[in-house]
């Protein structure tokens, strides 16, 4: 990377001001939102267009320079490590423009470096929204979300098309529309005209190509929000509520049933002190008040039948939730930043089949309790814990059982939290969890669980698209731990 000629070539591509090799400048990218850290790069470049990315990759491919991509730096499991000290890091956040909102086709096209809240705000100004319920929206970029999260956690069905630069600089546009069909000027349907290559690049961790643009489905913003909260004494009854919930067919993408673990609520919501049970929250958005009243009434009826109870504190909380979610059309809250005041977070997410969930859930909780005792013995005090889960589709439950440590202002705590996350995931994976995060450590862990056939397919695709292995090298490749290898 450190040749004068290379530096000069990069400067010619993007302009002198958008390339740096200063040590402090590259060091600034060595941390991100995770406890796992960012990337140690030899140089950072901020491209402004797909064409510039294509020229950069073409150059890097010829020189065999590892390229690592960064959007908002919002990962939970760390940035791709590449080859530390040799990487060329592409900071994509300069590519942050909304290119078109098409109210007729109900699509938005934007550059991949855009932070989601900026994209969301642009859509809401036109009366639309993008379905991104679990996005840390002030932090993550569109490209980061599409690449680093498997299926983009709900967004994936709504991604219609991606523009991707392959390792050799070739630019491809997936999905229906002009990228697939040269006679069709509109980007409006992903699954027509050939195999679903958009899916190929979704959740790839940036290993198959660099996303520079995407077209995403938008929906008319629903003007009404309603919330209801009930408490349940047992996990069995909670799961019965979930079963009823997923048996219904809904036309709303966000039709959430959010569950907080026993006693979790009182750690985080003022006025809910003394709520020791599981709480199940029904959040519903819709286009008429009557419709929502009916849906909430059905929720309360089901809950009461299954042993759910309510109390004034929870009712007040529901009203507060309606108000905070609001319909003013401003993506104000960011779930990740919301926890910044709670101390050093060890995020412990899981994704499990609904079938057999209860048993694994209890095992994971017991594992966490044991580790919390060990942490305490080492002098790491716990500020709070919480458990949260929700259905992500008919068969899957996605959730977290996070821990927040009192900050010690020493690097040791970050390392401890990182180890806790790593150990938890290794344990959870042995119990069948497959997490949605295809980033850093988690991508490596997922890869150790691949079947031989899947692994072979991955390697074939990777070798075809990136024969010199310059794109995020190392990601997915921690195969040494794989007992089958």
Partner 1 sequence: MIAMGRNVMKELEKVRRYIYNCRKCGVCSGKVTSKVPYVCPVKESTAGFDHFSSRGKTVIAQGLLEGAISPSAELAEVIYSCTLCGNCMTQCGSINQDTGEALVDTTKIVEAMRADFLQNHPKWIDPAYRSILSSTRQYNNPWGLSRTEKEKWAKKMKIKNAQKEPSPVLLFVGCTMASSQELSSRPRKAAEIMSTANVDFAILGKDEPCCGSVQKRIGDVPLAREMMEENINLFNSLGCEAIVTLCAGCANMLKNDYRESKEKLKPRVLHIVEFLPKLIQERKLQLREKHSLKATYHDPCHIGRHMGIYDQPRAILNALPGVDLIERYATKENTICCGAGGGMRIFESGSLAEKIGHAALKSAMQVGAKALVTACPFCEMNLDAASRSLNNQIPVYDIIDMVYEALQ
Residues near partner 1 (CB under 8 A) are 17-18, 20, 22-25, 27-33, 44, 46, 72-74, 91, 93-94, 115, 117-118, 121, 125, 136, 138-139, 141, 329-332, 334, 336-337, 340-341, 344-345, 407-411, 413
Instruction: Pick between residue 61 and residue 141 the one whose CB is nearest to partner 1.
Output: 141
Instruction: Pick between residue 22 and residue 305 the one whose CB is nearest to partner 1.
Output: 22
* Distance separating alpha carbons of residues 233 and 237, to the nearest angstrom: 8
67-70: strand order across its sheet: 19-20, 41-45, 87-91, 67-70
The string of DSSP letters for 167-226 reads TTS-EEE-SSSTTT-TT------TTSSS--HHHHHTTSTTSS-EEEEEEEE-EEPPSEEE
Instruction: Provide the minimum distance between the beta carbon of 221 and partner 1 in the complex, in angstroms, as a whole number.
Output: 13
Instruction: Pick between residue 39 and residue 173 the one whose CB is nearest to partner 1.
Output: 39
Instruction: Pick between residue 33 and residue 210 the one whose CB is nearest to partner 1.
Output: 33
Residue partners of 205: CB distance under 8 A and separation at least 6 = 80, 147, 148, 438, 439, 443, 472, 475, 476
Instruction: Pick between residue 29 and residue 476 the one whose CB is nearest to partner 1.
Output: 29
Instruction: Provide the minimum distance between the beta carbon of 65 and partner 1 in the complex, in angstroms, as a whole number.
Output: 19
Q: 439 and 78 in contact (C-beta within 8 Å)?
A: yes
Instruction: Provide the minimum distance between the beta carbon of 24 and partner 1 in the complex, in angstroms, as a whole number.
Output: 5
Instruction: Provide the minimum distance between the beta carbon of 188 and partner 1 in the complex, in angstroms, as a whole number.
Output: 27
Residue that has been written with the tokens 């050939």 in this structure: 194
Q: What is the DSSP letter of 407?
A: P
Instruction: Provide the minimum distance between the beta carbon of 95 and partner 1 in the complex, in angstroms, as a whole number.
Output: 11
Instruction: Provide the minimum distance between the beta carbon of 5 and partner 1 in the complex, in angstroms, as a whole number.
Output: 22
Instruction: Provide the minimum distance between the beta carbon of 384 and partner 1 in the complex, in angstroms, as a whole number.
Output: 12
Instruction: Pick between residue 35 and residue 433 the one whose CB is nearest to partner 1.
Output: 35
Instruction: Pick between residue 211 and residue 344 the one whose CB is nearest to partner 1.
Output: 344
* Distance separating alpha carbons of residues 229 and 156, to the nearest angstrom: 29
Instruction: Pick between residue 17 and residue 290 the one whose CB is nearest to partner 1.
Output: 17
Closest CA relative to residue 36, chosen from 480, 469, 442, 475: 442
Residue partners of 310: CB distance under 8 A and separation at least 6 = 229, 230, 231, 300
Instruction: Provide the minimum distance between the beta carbon of 337 and partner 1 in the complex, in angstroms, as a whole number.
Output: 4
Q: 125 and 103 in contact (C-beta within 8 Å)?
A: no
Q: Which helix (H) or strand (E) holds 259?
A: strand 257-260
- Residue 54: CB atoms within 10 A of its CB come to 20
């Amino acid at each position: 990377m450190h040749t004068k000629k290379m530096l000069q070539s990069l400067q010619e591509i993007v302009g002198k001001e958008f390339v740096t090799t200063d040590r402090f400048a590259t060091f600034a990218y060595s941390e991100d939102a995770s406890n796992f850290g960012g990337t140690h790069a030899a140089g950072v470049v901020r491209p402004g267009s797909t064409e510039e990315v294509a020229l950069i990759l073409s150059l890097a491919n010829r020189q065999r320079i590892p390229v690592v991509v960064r959007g908002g730096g919002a990962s939970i499991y760390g940035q791709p490590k590449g080859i530390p000290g040799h990487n060329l890091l592409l900071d994509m956040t300069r590519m942050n423009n909304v290119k078109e909102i098409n109210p007729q086709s109900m699509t938005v096209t934007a550059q991949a470096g855009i932070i989601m809240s900026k994209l969301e705000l642009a859509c809401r100004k036109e009366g639309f929204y993008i379905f991104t319920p679990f996005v840390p929206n002030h932090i993550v970029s569109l490209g980061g979300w599409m690449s680093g999260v498997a299926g983009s956690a709900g967004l994936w069905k709504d991604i219609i098309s991606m523009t991707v630069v392959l390792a050799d600089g070739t630019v491809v546009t997936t999905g229906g529309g002009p990228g697939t069909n040269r006679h069709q000027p509109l980007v409006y349907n992903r699954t027509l005209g050939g195999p679903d290559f958009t899916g190929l690049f979704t959740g790839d961790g940036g290993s198959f190509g660099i996303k520079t643009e995407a077209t995403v489905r938008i929906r008319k913003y629903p003007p009404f929000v309603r919330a209801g909260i009930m408490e349940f004494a047992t996990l069995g009854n909670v799961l019965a509520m979930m079963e009823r919930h997923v048996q219904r067919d809904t036309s709303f993408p966000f039709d959430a049933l959010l569950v907080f673990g026993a006693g979790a609520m009182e750690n985080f919501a003022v006025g809910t002190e003394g709520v020791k049970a599981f709480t199940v929250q029904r959040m519903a958005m819709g286009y008429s008040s009557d419709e929502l009243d009916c849906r909430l009434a059905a929720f309360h009826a089901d809950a009461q039948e299954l042993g759910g109870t309510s109390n004034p504190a929870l009712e007040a909380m529901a009203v507060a939730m309606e108000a905070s979610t609001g319909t003013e059309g401003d993506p104000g809250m960011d779930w990740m930043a919301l926890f910044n005041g709670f101390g050093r977070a060890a995020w412990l997410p899981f994704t499990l089949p609904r079938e057999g969930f209860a048993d694994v859930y209890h095992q994971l909780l017991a594992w966490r309790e044991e580790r919390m005792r060990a942490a305490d013995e080492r002098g790491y005090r716990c500020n709070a814990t919480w458990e949260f889960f929700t259905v992500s589709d008919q068969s899957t439950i996605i959730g977290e059982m996070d821990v927040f440590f009192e900050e010690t202002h020493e690097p040791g705590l970050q390392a401890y939290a990182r180890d806790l996350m790593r150990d938890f995931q290794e344990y959870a994976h042995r119990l069948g969890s497959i997490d949605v995060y295809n980033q850093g450590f988690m991508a490596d862990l997922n890869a150790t669980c691949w079947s031989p056939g899947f692994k072979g397919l991955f390697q074939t695709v990777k070798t075809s698209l990136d024969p010199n292995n310059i794109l995020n090298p190392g990601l997915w490749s921690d195969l040494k731990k794989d007992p089958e290898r």
